[in-house]
A = this chain, B = another copy of it.
Amino acid sequence: MEPEKQIPKKVITQDEILQAALKLFADKGYFNTSLTDITDAVGIKTPSGIYHHFKNKQAIASSLYGNILDSLSISIDDIRRRNRKSSEQLREIVDLLFKLTDDAPEVMQFLLTVKVSDFLPDEKPLLSTPAFLKIKKIFQIGINEGELRSTDALLAYTYFFGVINHTLKMVLMGDLKQEADHYQAQAWLIAWNTVVKK
């Protein structure tokens, strides 16, 4: 093992700030998280350092939100590329969300239980976001191709992700005691039945 440097870690990266902020925002909420909380979590002594990386507190949240949605959008692109049927694509999206809930609960908390518009009023509403538009498109194609019941694509989305998101939220809040993974198979089946053509 190498001898550890005596110099205390001082240099903070943007990513460390984002990770700490994400955890705090997900846990205590944006308004209950002060810049001091973030500096504490990240191991520096003053909020000053943060202003070298971000314009202000809002910019941290905005960056987080953007990153999460971008990453989600990319994953969805990938999923759509690898699967042709709407059922398969939705199946993989559900798989991704359940995995994220177990492996990166802060991310899903930020997506599902945090009301972003309260502190990012200028951000695009979730439903006009690329990630969401792609999901809506999956429903639309499924309807056109006859795999899904013919309703409004937005309504199909509403029912399907009503089941999925509520299940994940109950896990995140600790009301459902097992890992998300444990509920996935059944939740998928129930959600799928809300939209499938029989």
Q: Contact residues of A with B, CB < 8 Å? A: 28-29, 31-32, 113-115, 118, 125, 127, 151, 154-155, 158-159, 161-167, 170, 173, 175-176, 183, 186-187, 190, 193-194
Q: Are A165 and B163 in contact (CB under 8 A)?
A: no
How many copies are assembled? 2
Most buried by B among A155, A158, A162, A193: A162
**Leading 5 A-B pairs by shortest Cβ distance:** A162-B166, A31-B31, A29-B118, A162-B162, A162-B163
B154–A158 touching, CB < 8 Å:
no
Q: Are B190 and A159 in contact (CB under 8 A)?
A: yes
Interface of A is mostly: helix
| Neighbouring B residues of A154 by C-beta, 8 Å | 170, 175-176
Question: Which of A29, A32, A155, A159 has the most chain B CB atoms inside 10 A of its CB?
Answer: A159
A101 to chain B, nearest CB (A): 14
